[in-house]
Amino acid sequence: MTARSFLTPLLPSAADYRRVPRSWRGDLVAGVTVGIVALPLALAFGVSSGAGPEAGLVTAIIAGVVAAVFGGSNVQVSGPTGAMVVVLAPIVTAHGAGVVPLLSLLAGLFVLAAGILKIGRVVSFIPWPVIEGFTLGIAVIIFLQQVPAALGVPAGKSSNALIAAIDALPAVSWPQSAWAAGAAAAVAGIMIVLPRLNRHLPASLIAIAVVSVAYAVAHGPVTRIGELPATLPAPAIPHVTLDLLVTLSGPALTVAALAAIESLLSARVAASLADTGPYDADRELVGQGMASLASGLFGGMPATGAIARTAVNVRSGAQTRVAAITHSLVLLAVVYLASTAVAQIPLAALAGVLLVTAVRMISVPTVRSVVAASRSDAIVFIATAVITVSFDLIVAVGIGIAVAAFFALRSLAASGGVHRETIDGPALPGDQDIVVFRLDGALFFGAADRMTDEINRVTNIRVVILRLSQLQILDATGARVITELVHSLERRGITVLIKGVQDRHLRVATRVGVIAALRHQNHLFADLPSAIEHARSHVRRAAASP
């Protein structure tokens, strides 16, 4: 395979836009709609992360365009997200907002490398309870992160959202906190009520506008966004030192893992909602990596695919990448034409947007489904959510997968069994000295000893026939246990015959020594009647011996 043939599927092509002549009107409408929805979210996520509102806008604009052009989904919308804020906030607390662009570059390189190495399908191995527990944990953290801003007080210094929220409570002062809480509550109320009256209206943007105007007229004593640049910043390489690279490499890997997971999950959701064809997971990682790289060069944050904005994009009629590009152009127009108005938005109003966003991330029917599915799924779900809130997102996913794998292996081990069978047909003299055991399911490291203990306990028997044709899984441990079982029985004078080793198991059985452990090579049979006839001949010879 040449480098060109390897990389070409990961690059943009004319096929990405073949629907544009038919869909451009719908794409433009969808792009404008998503841009309006994305504006308050971009500002809110920028503020909540500690990087600032301008970083949120820059990320939505730059990363939104780059991911749309280079990504693997036709309808994915990318930019700053709540999950990324959860990871960034403690990093900014520890190292300052100045490291965010460099962090974005490093994370982008990691995600880009993952795409080039074509490991995008790894996300499909994450169990559903882990994903839902992860989502619930993120929602709780986003909610907790907004408590200080909603009360008009500084955030606590702890990197843990729960502790930081609790630490902020003693700083509450009236009436300033009442004004801030009123702004957050008003925005939340409008966002909840307005969609019930007209679901086509951009509730979050209207809520922000109404509250901002009301507080400006009333001269409400609340902290506002403040001055924003009236143009995009010029691209520049962030300040970097070797020590800083070493310090940020770990956090960057965490950010990259989150960006990859969230982007691929979002792309998968988009593919299920739209009729625009499947997504390319590896190309999506390439696009998201390049998006974070570009965002970092312009002073922005790491980007990911945004599930909520992508869903709005699809439901608004998007068919091609033109919609996501249009969304970024709408936000760019805001920077050049409305930065003065945006500067007057109360921070508490943005907190209200994210409070509602966090609550809407939690699907009660989904939570009920996961918890009711099985006890093991419920444990995985709850453990992932609790660890996400208490410790770390990526650690939570890792532990969630490990717990899910444990339960899966335990279930797989329980599916295997050993069954003692009777010999078909009329009984012949000596048949009482022959035992047939059928091994079912999985014979692997989690079940091998349990499945063979029963066979080892046989007594007063001359021949044991092991039927392996129903065995679905045989790993090296299972093959080793069979080898030891054969040796043990043969040492006791019991002849072992094996019937029906599947072709896919023959290699491991041969290499580990199962076949060599048999007394003769002709003790391996393809069918049961031949094995039984051979066993009877052994019994007859043994009976005839003095």
For 469, counting Cβ atoms within 10 Å of its Cβ (0-12 exposed, 13-18 middle, 19+ buried), the class is middle
For 522, counting Cβ atoms within 10 Å of its Cβ (0-12 exposed, 13-18 middle, 19+ buried), the class is exposed
Phi, psi of 501 (to 5 degrees): -70, 125
pLDDT score, position 445:
63
What's the mean pLDDT in 471-478? 84
pLDDT score, position 479:
87
* pLDDT at 446 > cutoff 70: no
**Residue labelled with tokens 């299920």:** 272
* pLDDT at 300 > cutoff 60: yes
CA gap 38, 33 in Å, rounded: 9
* DSSP state string for 415-447: H-EEEEEPPSSS--TTGGGEEEEEEEEEESTTT
Contact 186, 351 (CB under 8 A): no
What's the mean pLDDT in 366-383? 90
Question: Domain residues of the chain, as ranges?
Answer: 20-361, 417-544
* pLDDT at 1 > cutoff 60: no
Q: Global pTM?
A: 0.74
Number of continuous H segments (helices) and E segments (strands) in the chain: 24, 8
Element (H, E) at 489: helix 476-491
Looking at 73-87, 118-132, 323-337, 502-516, which range is the least confident one? 118-132
Judge: domain 417-544, CATH 3.40.50.10490: no
What's the mean pLDDT in 58-63? 96
Phi, psi of 185 (to 5 degrees): -65, -40
pLDDT score, position 448:
61
Contacts of residue 327, Cβ cutoff 8 Å, sequence gap at least 6? 31, 32, 34, 35, 38, 60, 64, 77, 309, 313
More confident residue, 159 or 517: 517
Three-state DSSP class for 198? coil
pLDDT score, position 246:
92
N- to C-terminal Cα separation, the chain? 69
* pLDDT at 106 > cutoff 90: yes
Per-residue model confidence as pLDDT tens digits over 495-505: 999 998 888 88
What's the mean per-residue pLDDT of the chain?
A: 86
pLDDT score, position 472:
84
* pLDDT at 91 > cutoff 80: yes
* DSSP state string for 348-410: HHHHHHHHHHHHHH--HHHHHHHHHH-HHHHHHHHHHHHHHHHT-HHHHHHHHHHHHHHHHHH
pLDDT score, position 6:
62
Residue 415's pLDDT band (cuts 50, 70, 90): low
What's the mean pLDDT in 215-228? 87
